[in-house]
Amino acid sequence: MKELDILGPRNTTPGDFQAVIEMLAAGRFPVASVITQTVSLADAGADLADQIKIQVQLA
């Protein structure tokens, strides 16, 4: 298992991250409405320059 550090704006607290994770898990956030494109991991670097937010497909 890989350990990840999630960093956000300076005013974001661990409680904020927990609240968002709970919303996502419960299906209370419209994830599909904020994803405009899904790209492969191989193409992520090139596509990131053209996009504001992307979802990277790892598999």
Which domain, by its residues, includes 58?
31-59
CA 39 to chain centre: 13
Contact of 28 with 21, CB cutoff 8 Å: no
Q: What percent of the chain has pLDDT over 90?
A: 14
- Whether 41 is covered by a domain: the verdict is yes
Residue 25 lies inside a defined structural domain of this protein: no
Does 26 reside within a domain?
Answer: no
Q: In the structure, what pLDDT confidence band is assigned to residue 54 with cuts at 50, 70 and 90?
A: low
Residues 45-54: contacts with CB under 8 Å, at least 24 apart: none
Asked if the structure places residue 20 within a domain, the reply is: no
Structurally, how many domains does the chain consist of? 1
With beta carbons less than 8 A apart as the criterion, state whether 38 and 54 touch: yes
Higher-confidence residue: 19 or 9?
A: 19
Residue 34 or residue 15, greater confidence? 15
